[in-house]
Amino acid sequence: GAVVSQHPSWVICKSGTSVKIECRSLDFQATTMFWYRQFPKQSLMLMATSNEGSKATYEQGVEKDKFLINHASLTLSTLTVTSAHPEDSSFYICSAVNWDSRNQPQHFGDGTRLSIL
Partner 1 sequence: AQTVTQSQPEMSVQEAETVTLSCTYDTSESNYYLFWYKQPPSRQMILVIRQEAYKQQNATENRFSVNFQKAAKSFSLKISDSQLGDTAMYFCAFMKNTNAGKSTFGDGTTLTVKP
The binding site for partner 1 (CB under 8 A) comprises 31-32, 34, 38, 41-44, 46, 49, 91, 93, 95-97, 99, 102-106, 108, 110-111
Nearer to partner 1, 82 or 106 (CB): 106
Q: How far is the CB of 14 from partner 1 (least distance, A)?
A: 24
Q: How far is the CB of 13 from partner 1 (least distance, A)?
A: 20
Q: How far apart are CA 111 and CA 44, in angstroms?
A: 11
Nearer to partner 1, 78 or 112 (CB): 112
Q: How far is the CB of 83 from partner 1 (least distance, A)?
A: 26
What are the E-state strand segments in the chain? Answer: 4-7, 10-13, 19-25, 32-38, 44-51, 57-58, 67-73, 76-81, 90-97, 107-108, 112-116
Helix (H, G, I), strand (E, B) or coil at 53: coil
Phi, psi of 88 (to 5 degrees): -85, -10
Nearer to partner 1, 44 or 76 (CB): 44
The bridge status of strand 32-38 relative to strand 90-97 is antiparallel
Nearer to partner 1, 46 or 76 (CB): 46
Q: How far is the CB of 111 from partner 1 (least distance, A)?
A: 5
